[in-house]
Amino acid sequence: MKNIKQLATGLVMVLVLATGAHAASGGAVLDKAPGKTTDLASLQNGAKVFVNYCLNCHSAAFMRFNRLTDIGLTEKQIKDNLMFTTEKVGETMKAAIDPKQAKEWFGANPPDLTLIARSRSGPGSSGADYLYTYMRTFYRDDTKVTGWNNLTFPNVAMPHVLWELQGERKPVFEERQEHGHTVKILKGWEQVSPGTMTQIQYDQTVGDLVNFLQWMGEPAQNTRVRVGVWVLLFLGLFTFLTWRLNAAYWKDIK
Amino acid sequence: MAEFKDISPNASAGEKLTNWFENRFPTAFYEYKKHMSEYYAPKNFNFWYVFGALAMLVLVIQIVTGIFLVMHYKPDAALAFGSVEYIMRDVPWGWLIRYMHSTGASAFFVVVYLHMFRGLMYGSYRKPRELVWLFGCAIFLALMAEAFMGYLLPWGQMSFWGAQVIVNLFSAIPFIGPDLALLIRGDFVVGDATLNRFFAFHVIAVPLVLLGLVVAHLLALHDVGSNNPDGIEIKANKGPDGIPLDGIPFHPYYTVHDIFMVSMFLFVFSAIVFFAPEMGGYFLEYNNFIPADPFQTPLHIAPVWYFTPFYTLLRAVTSEMMYVLIACVVVGTALAVAKAKIPALFKGLIVGAALAVVAMMMAIDAKFWGVVAMGGGVVILFFLPWLDNSPVKSIRYRPTWHKYLYAAFVINFFVIGYLGTQPVSEIAGRISQAGTLFYFGFFILMPWWSRLGTFKPVPSRVTFTAH
């Protein structure tokens, strides 16, 4: 029996090491997105930014407008403030752009954003982390058709849609010798021209936006966690009862 | 034909009702006794003996949640992805049903792997339980088919490309391969036809086979009786009433025991369903939240975790590795000729067969042998009852180094499983190849190593300490 316990401990350790190694192979370092999907004010602001800036080119084909009631909005508020592409509040979020034109202008169809936060998750980082970093690393690049490039997603077809808010920035690199190669390391950013928002305001706005995207990927996620707590409490109690029941039956077996 | 039993008019209403049913459906009463209240199981079962019951529970979870999913799912390449999102968003409690089903798939493999390892440790496949083991291996095979075809249904990128890669493997089989792959897909690429046939297999054909095999597995088990951690036949020690002295009625003793274990299992299961349904990308792969796109190949295509050990066996067989495998065949043949005490005619046949195998190994592409290795990794399990020559069943009475060997086997299984999730690299490739040789060596050399060492005396009665 002792051997089997040792064996089991060994197995658990292998598993932990394997998962750790999996997490470590993540790639580029991403900033942590600040939002919480339970923060309704942040989600509402994110929804506003989303329909104003993203929904022009991107769709959210599985997301219905009236689902926004889950983040504390009334159907009237949704209709009056957030619906530009459709009349019916039960409709899904369509893009304003014609997909054919989009393909012509950008060389690629802007992807649907309903599940973007889920599909962009990776080991050790959430999709929100990725998107938060991505939306804050655009810079001017005149060699590109759109005039913009991105550090997180190099050569992306998308221009910097929020540039009026953020202003123009350019990355500052430091060159360093590593293993005989010259590597560029990002030192920081230099503001080229100011936007309508300060750095902090912009980060906050993007934080709200990606928080909304994270929520939209799975609108049931807050319900899921809330229900889960009760389920586990019940099962904890049930386990105790069945444990005592089992002991009661087995106490006479010699 | 059972006799009609009359009951006293003074009996209670409950007894009368029972009597009414017993006279009209005696089989139910007979089977209940045979499989529950008078099925005597060894009283020394430990923790490892719960996974069979848990596998049944997960099967029920999968069937029930599956039925509800089919009510809303659309097996159509244009609609499938959207219908899954419809289930996740618009169907009341649809997200719960879907997560239970996706977590259930992984949970199924977790409990089945542990169940199989239990069999390995305590020699549960040894005489007279060979058929129980064979039915079990067939269940494992059916389960793999079920999981593979079910994984295509959400129609995400990993669904599509995973199916594309695996079905393409079949085309590596000489002569019939390309046509076979075409038959499986129903098209030249994975498409709507593939989705429709996989759906048919996933929701009805394979589950029927699975249920039939589970019944056979249980009936065969209850005919020969359960093994136990000591590997002792409890039927060898019966009391005057014909009941094994170390046996205990399955119901209520093991039913209450299993209910306790079930509640613990459900605790862990629910913790995953409610708090980490993606399980860090292992249960639901992130790429699968992107709809299938035949024109965009993902950078890294990895099967779900439960297939990865076998996927590593496949990837380990490169054209370089073929030389190693050919050398193994040659050395094996030389040893057989030099050492085996068999007539010269048989030796000649062995050499002839080995030459034919080596010729085929040189003539046919390594990709095909990779497929053979992957399939062989599963098929070799079927032969376990005849590979194990140990004089005792249970690991408890085997030499200590056997335990370390089993531990190494398990660690190796985890390592090749992990490597199967990773992109190919030089070092990972070498470790995969070593792991593959170890995996097959463990089984193929078992007839020899399982006899070696000093075995401990097996007691005549099971070891049991009162709870």
d(CA A238, CA B264): 9
Between residues 132 and 191 of chain A, which touch chain B (CB distance below 8 Å)? none
Over residues A66-71, the mean pLDDT reads 95
Q: With 0-12 CB in 10 A as exposed, 13-18 as middle and 19+ as buried, what is B373?
A: buried
Residue A9 pLDDT grade (very low, low, confident, very high; cuts 50, 70, 90) = low
DSSP code of A69? G
Does residue B267 sit at the A interface (CB-CB below 8 Å)? yes
Q: What is the pLDDT of residue B400?
A: 96
Q: What is the pLDDT of residue A5?
A: 53
- The pLDDT of residue A24 is above 50: no
Whether the Cβ atoms of residue A118 and residue A126 lie closer than 8 Å to each other? no
CA distance A23 to chain B (A): 9
Residue A145 distance to chain B (closest CA, Å): 22
Closest-CA distance of chain A to residue B270, Å: 7
pLDDT (0 to 100) of residue A197: 95
Q: What are B8-57's pLDDT values in tens digits?
A: 899 999 999 999 999 999 999 999 999 999 999 999 999 999 999 999 99
Position A14 confidence tier, pLDDT thresholds 50, 70, 90: very low
Q: Is B189 on the interface with A (CB under 8 A)?
A: no
The pLDDT value given to residue A35 = 84
**Chain B CA closest to residue A15:** B414
Percent of chain B with pLDDT over 70: 99
Nearest-CA distance B391 → chain A (Å)? 20
Neighbours of B457 (CB within 10 A): 7
**How many angstroms away from the CA of A149 is the closest CA of chain B?**
22
At B440, the amino acid letter reads F
Smallest Cβ–Cβ distance between B88 and the set A21, A121, A218 belongs to A218
Does A231 touch chain B if contact means CB atoms closer than 8 Å? yes
Kindly compute the dihedral angle of the four CA atoms of residues A117, A120, A121, A125, in this order, to the nearest 10 degrees: -100
Q: How far is A204 from chain B (nearest CA, A)?
A: 26
What pLDDT is stored for residue A203 in this prediction?
A: 95
Residue A176: per-residue pLDDT: 83
Q: Per-residue pLDDT for A1 more than 60? A: no
Nearest CA in chain B to A8: B407
Which residues in chain B have their CB less than 8 angstroms from residue A231's CB? 270, 274
Contact residues on chain A for B295, CB-CB shorter than 8 A:
none
Q: Does A219 touch chain B (CB under 8 A)?
A: yes
Is the predicted pLDDT of residue A8 greater than 70, yes or no?
Answer: no
- d(C-alpha B396, C-alpha B390), whole Å: 12
A49 Cα to chain B: minimum distance (Å): 22
For chain B, say whether A5 makes contact (Cβ under 8 Å): no
Q: What is the mean pLDDT of residues B122-145?
A: 97
Question: Distance (Å, rounded) from C-alpha B206 to C-alpha B208?
Answer: 5
Mean pLDDT of the region A70-84: 91
Q: How far is B20 from chain A (nearest CA, A)?
A: 30
User: B117 CB near a chain A CB, below 8 Å?
Assistant: no
Say whether A122 sits in a helix, a strand or coil.
strand
**pLDDT band at residue A123, thresholds of 50, 70 and 90?**
confident
Reported ipTM: the value is: 0.91
Q: Does A36 touch chain B (CB under 8 A)?
A: no
Length of chain A in terms of residues written: 254
Set of chain B residues whose Cβ sits within 8 Å of the Cβ of A7: 403, 406-407, 410
pLDDT band at B1 (very low <50, low <70, confident <90, very high): low
- Reduce the secondary structure of chain B to three states and give it as a string: CCCCCCCCCCCCHHHHHHHHHHHHCHHHHHHHHHHHHCCEEECCCCHHHHHHHHHHHHHHHHHHHHHHHHCCCCCCCCCHHHHHHHHHHCCCCHHHHHHHHHHHHHHHHHHHHHHHHHHHHHCCCCCCCHHHHHHHHHHHHHHHHHHHHHHHCCCEHHHHHHHHHHHHHHCCCCCCHHHHHHHHHCCCCCCHHHHHHHHHHHHHHHHHHHHHHHHHHHHHHHHHCCCCCCCCCHHHCECCCCCECCEEEHHHHHHHHHHHHHHHHHHHHHHHHHHCCCHHHCCCCHHHHCECCCCCCCCCCCCCHHHHHHHHHHHHCCHHHHHHHHHHHHHHHHHHHHHCCCCHHHHHHHHHHHHHHHHHHHHCCHHHHHHHHHHHHHHHHHHHHHHCCCCCCCHHHCCHHHHHHHHHHHHHHHHHHHHCCCCCCHHHHHHHHHHHHHHHHHHHCHHHHCCCCCCCCCCCCCCCCCC
Q: Cβ separation of B281 and A121 shorter than 8 Å? A: yes
Nearest CA in chain A to B467: A251
CA distance B394 to chain A (A): 12
pLDDT surpasses 60 at A15: no
Of A63, A114, A118, Cβ closest to residue B286:
A118
- State whether residue B243 sits within 8 Å of chain A by CB: no
**Measured between CB atoms, which of B270, B410, B467 is closest to A247?**
B467
Chain A contact present for B431, CB below 8 A:
no
Return the percent helix, strand and coil in chain A, to nearest 5: 50, 15, 35
User: Which member of B90, B259, B286 has the closest CB to residue A119?
Assistant: B286
The reported pLDDT for the residue numbered A6 is: 53
Give the model's confidence band at B375: pLDDT under 50 very low, under 70 low, under 90 confident, else very high.
very high
Q: Within its chain, how far is the Cα of B121 from the centroid?
A: 16
Residues 52-91 (B) with a CB less than 8 A from some CB of A: 82, 85-86, 88-90
B281, B407, B466: residue with CB nearest A254: B466
- Note whether A46 contacts B: Cβ–Cβ < 8 A: no
A198 pLDDT band, cuts 50/70/90, is very high
CB contact residues (below 8 A), chain B span 277-296, against chain A: 277-278, 280-281, 286-287, 289-291
Confidence of residue B339 (pLDDT cuts 50, 70, 90): confident
Q: Is the pLDDT score of A19 beyond 60?
A: no
C-alpha B310: how far from chain center = 12
pLDDT at residue A141 tops 60: yes
- Cα three-residue angle B104-B106-B108, rounded to 5 degrees: 65
